[in-house]
A and B are shown apart, each in its own frame.
Chain A
Amino acid sequence: MALVRVISSDGAAFLVSQRLAKRSGKLKTEIETFRKSSDNSEAQPEIRIVTIRAEILRLVLQWLQQHQNDPVLPANQNEQDGRGDAEMGQSQWDRDFLAPMDLGIVMELILAANHLEVKGLLDITCKLVESKITGRTVDEIRTAFKLKSDFKGNEEEQTRLENRWCVEN
C-alpha cells in the first residue's frame, strides 16, 4: 500500500495511505506535485503542513479515515455556492466525534478542513459553530465561547445602533 508522510507544524509525523490522503484536495495536489518533481516513482512523499498542529491534524485524519468510503463532495466553485448541506452528511459518528470538543478546537478544525480542502468536515464543524450562535443572545454566545466583552465606553451601544441599519432592511 502506497503511503505518505504528513508532518504537522510541531513536527509530529503521520503515516497514512495515499488513498486516504487523496481525499483531502490539498494533500492530493501535494502528492501529485511530489510525483512530478521526484525521479523515483517509488519514493514516499513527505508533506509538511506548517499551519496545523499535531492534535488537529490527527483529528482531521481520524475523520477522513471514518469517511474514506463516502462520495467526495465537490469543492466550492466560488464563494456563491460555498454552503454545503451539513445535515445530509452528518452521521451519529460525526456527532460523537464533535461532542467532546472544545469550541477552540472546533474552530481550529474549521481552518484545518479549509486548508486541507476537506469539504465534509468543513460543513459539519461550521454547522456546529452556527448552532452555538443561532437563536442565542449575545451574553449566551459569550458564555458558550468563554469570551469576555472588551468593548470600551459606549462602543457596545454604538455597535448595537450600527447593527440596526443592517438588520432592518
Chain B
Amino acid sequence: MTEETRIEPKLPLEIFSMEVWCHIFSFLPAKDVVTCTHTTQAWSNFYMDERTVLLMQLAFPHISKYLNKAEIAKCRQVCRSWRRGVDDLLQNHPLHYDIQLKSNEVRVAPPTPGKTFTPSKVEELERFIGSWEYGRSNPLSVTRTLSYEEDARDSPNFNARVTYRQRVAVKGLLTVFGSEVWHCRLVFTEGDGPSDLYKRVRSYLILMPNLKTLSIFYAGGHLPPNYVMAPSLQQLVEDEPLPHLNNLVKLCIGVGGPLEFSSLLTFTTLQKLYCANSFNFLPLPVQKQSLNELEQLHAFIINPGDWYKLLNVRSPLKVLKLSIVASARLETVFRCVDNFGETLKHFSLHINIERDVERRISKLLELPELETLKISAGRNKFCNIDFLLPCTSLKNLEMELNVSVVSKRIREKMRRDTTSLDAIVKFLWYEDAMYESNIWELFPHLQNLELNTALPKRKFETRTWGPYPITIGTRYKYNREEYLAHVQRRSRLPIN
C-alpha cells in the first residue's frame, strides 16, 4: 500500500457525530451493537447510557420465562428496541423449530402469546374483518403464528354453515395477512374426504408463501382408512401440486394420503420432519428426490414396509427419534440407523412392543459420532450392551428398561459370578453399582448415565423379597465426576 492511499485510523466521533452513529446502530441487531461498543471509549459511553435499551433484547429470552403473556405483550409498548426484542423471541422461538429428544411428544406450538382461530371464534373473526381496524391492526404481526382449527362434523355446535363461514373468514384474513405468517398449525376433524382436505389445505398454503414451520394434524387421532394413497389421489397431486414453500424448515404432519405424499415431494428444503402418520411414512417417491437438508427426523415405525423406506433415506441426519410400534428386532433397527453413521449425534429409540429378553444383540450400533442415546425399552431387558462399543463419542446415555427384581445381596453375588456372560461392557447386575463397571473406561467421553427402571404400571413401589426391601422402579443417575471421586476413594483404601 502506498503512502498516498493509506487511510489513517480515526475515532468514531471524527467520522460522524454520535447522533448519526445512533441512527446507524438502530439498524443493527443488539448483539452487534454491544460488540461495537466494546471497541472505543465514545461508543462505550453510549453503551453505558443505553444499556437498558440494548441489553433487554439480549436478556429478554431469559426474563420472559418469569413473565405471563400479558406482561410479555406489555414490554412491546415500552420502546422500539424492547418491541424488537419481544418480537424476535416470539417469532423465532426455538420451540417453533426443535424436535425435542427428551420428551416423547413434539411441541407443535411454543408457549407464547398467540391467537388460535377455532370454530367458536368465527364470529370474533368476522367482526374483526368487518371492522375499521381491519388492515390497520395485523393480528399475526406479533407472533407470526396462525393456529387454526376446523371442524367439519355435522353436530349441533359445528354445522356446515358455521364451517363455511369460518373458511370464508380465514381465507379473507389470509388474503390480506397470509404473507406475514411464519408458523402455521392446522388442525382438522374428520368429516371431509382426503381429496377435499388436500384441496382446502392447498388453498390455504398458497396464501402463506413465507411459512417457516407447518403442522397439519387430525384432532381425532384416528385416520379414516381412505387416507391411504390411491391412484386417483396420486393424479390429484400431479394435477394440483402444493405450492413450493422455499422457507419451510420444519414440517409436522399427522395426516396421511395426498397431503403427506405431496408435502414430502414438494418441500425439499425441510430440515426437520415429524411424521406422526401410521400409514404412509415417507412415500417411496421421496427416495428419488431425497430430502438433502433433513437434519432431524421423528418417525413412527408401524408397518414392516416402513423399515424399507427408512433404509432408503439418505439425509444427513443429526437427530433421529424412532418410535417403534411394529414387531422388530433391534438388529433391524441398528441396520437402518447405520445409514446415518457419519452424521448422527442424537438418537432416541422408543420401543412400545413387549418382546422376549434380548439375550445377545449381534449387530453393533455403528454410530461413531453419536453423543446422546436414549433407549426406552419399556418392559424389555438387556443382558448385554456391547452393541454400543462403536459409539466412542457417547456423552449421555439414558436407558429405560426392565431390571430383574432381586435383592442387593443377590445382585452383588451375580456380579461376581456372571463373568460367564462374556460381555465386554459390564452392565447386567451393575444397575445399582455402575461406578464398579468398566463402562467409564470403554466410553472415555461418557459424562452422564441414567437408568430408569420404572415400569409403566408399577412406579417406584417397594416390596419385600425375603427379608430385604426392594424398590421395583428406580432411577439411577451417574456422572463422570462422581465416578472419578469413587476411583480416588477406592485407590485410598488399604489393600488387604
Contacts and interface: CB of A to CB of B under 8 A. Distances in A.
Contact of B113 (A103, A148, A167): A167
Interface in A111-130: 111, 114, 122, 126-127, 129-130
Interface residues of B, number: 50
Contacts of A111: 55, 58-59
B52 A147 contact: yes
A158 interface: yes
A78 B98 contact: yes
A133 B59 contact: no
Interface stretch (B132-140, B183-191, B263-271, B361-369): B132-140
B172 interface: no
B495 interface: no
A79 B142 CA distance: 20
Contacts of A162: 76, 137-139, 141-142
Contact of A108 (B53, B55, B62, B76): B55
B65 A107 contact: no
Contact of B67 (A104, A134, A142, A164): A134
B138 A108 contact: no
Contacts of B115: 165-166, 169
A82 B116 CA distance: 25
Nearest to A114: B62
B335 interface: no
Contact of A166 (B62, B102, B114): B114
Contact of A77 (B66, B75, B94, B102): B102
A56 to B, nearest CB: 11
A41 interface: no
A40 interface: no
A108 B38 contact: no
Interface stretch (B77-85, B319-327, B463-471): B77-85
Nearest to A161: B137
B287 interface: no
Interface stretch (A12-20, A62-70, A89-97, A149-157): A149-157
Contact of B79 (A104, A149, A167): A149
B102 A78 contact: yes
A167 B80 contact: no
B55 A161 contact: no
Given A80-B103, A134-B67, A166-B69, 7 more contacts: A79-B93, A104-B55, A107-B55, A130-B63, A146-B52, A150-B80, A166-B115
